[in-house]
C-alpha cells in the first residue's frame, strides 16, 4: 500500500501542522502533550466539549473543532488511543468555569484514558462529565471494546451537543442530551477493502478479491460476517435491517440518516447507497428529516461505508440546524 | 476492483437519485435528458452558470449546484462527456433573461458538445457565453485534450463566478471574470494508484507497487513522468515547482491554495501535503490568504492529489467569501 507520507512516525504530527496552517481562524494545535483547541477560546461560562481518539478517522475529531461543535480534540497516533496527559491538558485548557464534557467512543483504551484524565482534571478543580458512545449494532464486544463500539453516532452527538453548549446549557444538561442521543442512535458499517496503518506498512486484515466484511469496525475489527460482494442495494439492506430492528425505529419516527464513506469509497457510490438507505427508511414508515452524506468518520483509505440513524425530535432538529463552523461541518456562519 | 454499485450502467442515474433524495432543498434532477438544476430556480435577471462533464469527479459538478455557485450541471456517464441535448435543455431551463455562462473544462468532447449546445440554445434566443478552463500545467495536449486540461481551477472559478452572478454582474462581466481567473490559476496532480471505471471493470492504467505518476490527468491520462514513490514532501515539491514557475507566481502575490484529494487518499495525508505546499508557497514569498483542503475534484477511488493555486486580489477574496450553499461547499448560509 503506497502512501503520501514522509516518515511513518511523523504522519500525525505533520498532518496536525497542516490543519493548523489551513485553519488558523478555527483551531490551534498544541504539542507535547498534543491537543487541538478552538482558536477563539471557550466563551466564559460555556460548557466545553472535548473528544478524541486514535487518528486515521479524519475529519473526526480534529475537523469538528470550532464554533458550535467541539471545543477541543485529542488525537492519538493512528488507530491508537491518546494518552491521559493529552486529555488532562486539553481539559484544563478548555475549562471556562462551566466544566468539560468528554465525548468518548467505546474503545477500551479511550475509555480508560479519558477516565484517568477526568480524575486528574477533577483534582485540579475542573468539573468533568463523560459520555461513552456505543452505537454500533454489529457486535457485542470486539477487538478493542467491551460492549458495543462507538462509531458514526459520535459525529451527530458532537454536533448536537455542541449546539446545546453554545446555547448555555449546563454540563449536566449537555451530558444528559449526549446520553439521550446515544440511546436513540444506531450504526453499522461494512468494508470492501482493508486499510494500512502507516507504521505497520501492511494491511490490517485481508479480504479476498470478491469478499466484503459486514459489520466491520473502524479499525478493521471483525464484523458479523465475511461474504461474497453483493450489489450495493443488498449491502445497504444488510446494514439497514439490524439498525432498524435494534432500536427499534418505528413507523412514524423522524430520523437523521447519515451515510458515511470509510474513506476510499467514491462519493458517487455513497450517494448511490444513500438513495437505497432512504428508500428503505421510508418503506419502514420513517420520515428522513435531516441527512448527512460523505466521509466524516473514516478508516484511512478503507473502501466501504457505514450507515447511522438517529431518532429525531423537534429539539434535536433545532440543535442540528444551529450554526456550526469547523473545518469539516459548516453552516449558518 | 470491488465497487459498491448495482449494475455498472446504472451508477450515474442511481447516484443522481441519491443526490436528489439527499438535497431536495438545493437541487432538482431531470432525466432524459439528464441535468441538475438548483431547486429554488434562477432569480429573474440573474446570469445563470452551467457546468458539466463526465461523472466520477464528485462532488464536481453536481455537488456545486445551489445558491452562490452553479445554477446547473450536466453529468455525463463516468469519464464521458455529457451530450449536447443535456446541455441545451439545461441552458434553456436556466435562462432567467440574463443569459447563461457555460463553464467548460478543456476536454475535446466537453468543448465540442458545449459549443453545439450553445448554438442550439442561441437559436432559441438564449444568450450564451462559454469559458474554457485549462489550468493543468502538466502537459500540452493529452488523451482527450488539445492544449492544457481543465482541472482544480474549475472549482474555484465556479465559486467565484457564482458569487459575481449572485451580485447581479452581467453575462459579459461574469464571463470576463471567469477568463481572468483562468489566466491566474495553475494546477498539477499526481497519482499513486489508478481508478476503475464501473463499466470497464478494470483499472484505467497500471502503476507498479512502488510507482507514482506525476502530472496525471483526472481520467488517468498520462502525465509528465512515471517514477518511484517518494516521500510526500518531495512529491509536493514536484507539483509546486511547475505551478509556481508557470504563471509565474511572484514574491508578494496573494494566493488561494487548494490541495485536493483524488478520492482515495485519506484526509490525514491531504493535510500533511497541505502543510508542505503552504510552506513552499511562503518560502516563495506568497501570502496564502485563502485555502481549500479536501476531495473536491476526484477521480473515483484514485489515490493521489492535486494542487491548485489562484492569484488573488481583494475582489476575488470578497467573491470567494460570499455566501454559498451547495451540497459540497457551504458557508455564510
Q: Is residue B5 part of a domain?
A: no
Local structure of residue B165 (DSSP, 8 states): H
Residue A1 has pLDDT above 90, yes or no: no
Residues of B in contact with A55 (CB under 8 A): 268
Q: How many CB atoms lie within 10 A of CB B206?
A: 9
A-to-B residue pairs, Cβ atoms closer than 8 angstroms: 181
Q: Alpha helices of chain B — where are they, by DSSP H?
A: 11-22, 84-94, 108-123, 153-166, 171-183, 232-246, 267-283, 314-321
Residues of A in contact with B16 (CB under 8 A): 271
Domain count, chain A: 2
Mark which of A183, A208, A223 sits at the end of a domain: A183
Residues 6+ apart with CB under 8 A from B248: none
Q: Considering only CA atoms, give the Rg of chain B.
A: 19
Residues of B in contact with A56 (CB under 8 A): 266, 268
Task: Report yes or no: B308 and B264 within 8 Å, Cβ to Cβ.
Answer: no
CA distance B64 to B119: 25
Residues of B in contact with A327 (CB under 8 A): 293
Cα separation of the two ends of chain B: 39
Say if residue A223 is in the same domain as residue A177. no
Q: Is B267–A209 a contact, with Cβ atoms under 8 angstroms apart?
A: no
- Residue B242, preceding peptide bond in cis (omega within 30° of 0): no
Q: Which residues pair with B212 in a beta bridge?
A: B227
Q: Is residue B3 part of a domain?
A: no
What value does the mean pLDDT of chain A take?
97
CA distance B264 to A198: 15
Mutating which of B268, B276, B283 best tests the A interface, going by the most A Cβ atoms within 10 A?
A: B268
Please give the model's pTM, rounded to 2 decimal places.
0.98
Q: Is A22–B58 a contact, with Cβ atoms under 8 angstroms apart?
A: no
Angle between helices A267-283 and A232-246 (to 10 degrees): 50
Q: Is A15–B268 a contact, with Cβ atoms under 8 angstroms apart?
A: yes
Q: Is A267–B59 a contact, with Cβ atoms under 8 angstroms apart?
A: yes
Residues 6+ apart with CB under 8 A from A244: A280, A281, A284, A309
pLDDT at B220: 95
Task: Report yes or no: B38 and A296 within 8 Å, Cβ to Cβ.
Answer: no
Q: Is residue A165 part of a domain?
A: yes
pLDDT at B140: 94
Q: Is B4–A269 a contact, with Cβ atoms under 8 angstroms apart?
A: yes
DSSP string for A190-213: EESS--B-TTT-SBSS---TTEEE
Residue of B nearest to A56 (CA): B268
Residues of B in contact with A21 (CB under 8 A): 274-275, 278-279
pLDDT at B1: 78
Active site residue B325: no
Q: Which residues pair with B291 in a beta bridge?
A: B257
Give the CATH number, domain containing residue B306. Answer: 3.30.1180.20
Say if residue B199 is in the same domain as residue B151. no
State the residue for C-alpha cell 452527538. Answer: A157
Nearest CA-CA distance, residue B153 and chain A, Å? 19
Which whole-number Å values give the CA distances from B270 to A3, B5, B231, in the listed order? 11, 26, 13
Say if residue B192 is in the same domain as residue B105. no
Task: Report yes or no: B56 and B155 within 8 Å, Cβ to Cβ.
Answer: no
Mark which of B153, B183, B213 sits at the end of a domain: B183
Residue A316 has pLDDT above 90, yes or no: yes
> Percentage helix, strand, coil, to 5, in chain A?
35, 25, 40
Residues of A in contact with B22 (CB under 8 A): 271, 274, 278, 291, 293
Say if residue A35 is in the same domain as residue A157. yes
Q: Within chain B, which residues score under 50 in pLDDT?
A: none
State the residue for C-alpha cell 463500539. Answer: A149
Q: Choose among B103, B77, B85, B98: nearest CA to B33.
A: B85
Cα separation of the two ends of chain A: 39
Q: Is residue B304 part of a domain?
A: yes
Q: Which residues pair with A187 in a beta bridge?
A: A136, A308
CA distance B65 to A221: 38
Nearest CA-CA distance, residue A193 and chain B, Å? 8
Nearest CA-CA distance, residue B206 and chain A, Å? 14
Q: Is residue B149 part of a domain?
A: yes
Say if residue B140 is in the same domain as residue B155. yes
Residues of B in contact with A3 (CB under 8 A): 192, 232, 269
Q: Is A275–B18 a contact, with Cβ atoms under 8 angstroms apart?
A: yes
Say if residue B40 is in the same domain as residue B53. yes
CA distance B216 to B218: 7
Domain residue limits at B121: 10-183
- Per-residue 3-state assignment (H helix, E strand, C coil) for A237-257: HHHHHHHHHHCCCCCCCEEEE
Q: Which residues pair with B261 in a beta bridge?
A: B305
Q: Is residue B63 part of a domain?
A: yes
What's the pLDDT tens digit per position in A111-127? 999 999 999 999 999 99
Q: Of the listed B23, B169, B219, B284, which one is catalytic? A: B219
Q: Are strands B128-133 and B100-105 parallel, antiparallel or unpaired?
A: parallel
Q: How many CA atoms lie within 13 A of A28 on its CB side?
A: 10
Q: Is residue A3 part of a domain?
A: no
Task: Report yes or no: B156 and B308 within 8 Å, Cβ to Cβ.
Answer: yes
pLDDT at A82: 98
| A14, A273, A279: residue with CB nearest B4 | A273
Q: Of the listed A57, A61, A102, A169, which one is catalytic? A: A57
Nearest CA-CA distance, residue B170 and chain A, Å? 28
pLDDT at A193: 97
Q: Can you tell me the ipTM of this complex?
A: 0.98
Say if residue A323 is in the same domain as residue A270. yes
The torsion angle over the Cα atoms of residues B49, B54, B57 and B59, rounded to 10 degrees, is 40
Q: Is residue A19 part of a domain?
A: yes
Mark which of A147, A164, A183 sits at the end of a domain: A183
The torsion angle over the Cα atoms of residues A324, A325, A326 and A331, rounded to 10 degrees, is 70
Active site residue B169: no
Give the CATH number, domain containing residue A29. Answer: 3.40.50.10440
- Give the cell for residue B162: 457564482
Q: Is A78–B333 a contact, with Cβ atoms under 8 angstroms apart?
A: no
Say if residue A230 is in the same domain as residue A142. no
Residues of B in contact with A193 (CB under 8 A): 2
Helix (H) or strand (E) holding A141: none
Q: What are phi and psi of B172, to 5 degrees?
A: -60, -40
Nearest CA-CA distance, residue B309 and chain A, Å? 14
CA distance B45 to B171: 10
CA distance A322 to A309: 19
Helix (H) or strand (E) holding A163: helix A153-166
The average pLDDT across A202-208 equals: 94
The average pLDDT across A96-110 equals: 98
| A6, A233, A331: residue with CB nearest B6 | A233
Residues 6+ apart with CB under 8 A from A166: A46, A67, A68, A322, A323
Task: Report yes or no: B146 and B139 within 8 Å, Cβ to Cβ.
Answer: no
DSSP string for B96-133: -SS-EEEEEES-HHHHHHHHHHHHHHHHTT--EEEEEE
Say if residue B221 is in the same domain as residue B119. no
CA A114 to chain centre: 16
Q: Is B2–A56 a contact, with Cβ atoms under 8 angstroms apart?
A: no
Nearest CA-CA distance, residue A128 and chain B, Å? 30
Say if residue B209 is in the same domain as residue B250. yes
pLDDT at B276: 98
Task: Report yes or no: B137 and B188 within 8 Å, Cβ to Cβ.
Answer: yes
Task: Report yes or no: A102 and A178 within 8 Å, Cβ to Cβ.
Answer: no
| A11, A12, A275: residue with CB nearest B14 | A275
Q: Of the listed B57, B61, B102, B169, which one is catalytic? A: B57
Say if residue B267 is in the same domain as residue B178. no
Q: In what order do the strands lie in the sheet with B27-30?
A: B27-30, B35-38, B72-78, B48-55, B100-105, B128-133
From the number of C-beta atoms within 10 Å of its C-beta (0-12, 13-18, 19+), residue B330 rates as: buried
Say if residue B173 is in the same domain as residue B209. no
Amino acid at each position: 500500500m503506497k502512501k503520501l507520507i514522509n516518515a511513518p512516525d511523523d504522519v500525525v504530527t505533520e498532518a496536525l501542522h497542516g490543519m493548523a496552517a489551513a485553519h488558523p481562524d478555527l483551531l490551534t494545535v498544541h504539542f507535547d502533550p498534543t491537543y487541538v483547541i478552538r482558536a477563539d477560546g471557550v466563551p466564559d461560562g460555556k460548557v466545553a466539549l472535548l473528544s478524541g481518539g486514535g487518528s486515521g478517522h479524519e475529519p473526526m475529531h480534529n475537523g469538528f473543532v470550532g464554533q458550535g461543535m467541539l471545543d477541543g480534540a485529542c488525537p492519538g497516533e493512528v488507530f491508537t488511543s491518546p494518552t491521559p496527559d493529552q486529555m488532562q491538558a486539553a481539559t484544563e485548557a478548555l475549562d471556562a468555569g462551566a466544566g468539560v464534557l468528554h465525548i468518548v467512543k467505546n474503545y477500551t483504551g479511550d475509555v480508560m484514558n479519558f477516565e484517568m484524565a477526568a480524575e486528574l482534571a477533577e483534582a485540579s478543580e475542573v468539573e468533568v462529565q463523560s459520555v461513552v458512545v456505543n452505537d454500533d449494532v454489529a457486535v457485542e464486544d470486539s477487538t478493542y471494546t467491551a460492549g458495543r463500539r462507538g462509531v458514526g453516532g459520535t459525529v451527530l452527538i458532537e454536533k448536537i451537543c455542541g449546539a446545546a453548549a453554545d446555547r448555555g446549557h449546563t454540563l449536566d444538561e449537555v451530558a444528559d442530551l449526549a446520553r439521550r442521543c446515544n440511546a436513540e442512535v444506531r450504526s453499522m458499517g461494512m468494508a470492501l477493502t482493508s486499510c494500512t496503518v502507516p507504521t505497520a506498512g501492511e494491511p490490517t486484515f485481508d479480504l479476498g478479491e470478491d469478499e466484503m466484511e459486514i459489520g466491520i469496525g473502524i479499525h478493521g475489527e471483525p464484523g458479523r460476517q465475511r461474504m461474497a460482494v453483493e450489489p450495493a442495494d443488498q449491502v445497504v439492506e444488510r446494514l439497514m435491517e439490524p439498525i432498524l430492528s435494534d432500536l427499534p425505529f418505528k413507523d412514524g419516527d423522524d430520523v437523521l440518516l447519515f451515510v458515511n464513506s470509510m474513506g476510499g469509497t467514491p462519493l458517487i457510490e455513497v450517494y448511490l447507497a444513500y438513495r437505497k438507505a432512504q428508500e428503505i427508511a421510508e418503506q419502514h414508515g420513517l420520515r428522513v428529516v435531516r441527512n448527512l452524506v460523505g466521509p466524516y468518520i473514516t478508516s484511512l483509505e478503507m473502501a466501504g461505508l457505514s450507515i447511522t440513524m438517529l431518532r429525531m425530535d423537534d429539539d434535536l432538529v433545532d440543535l442540528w440546524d444551529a450554526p456550526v463552523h469547523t473545518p469539516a461541518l459548516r453552516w449558518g456562519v
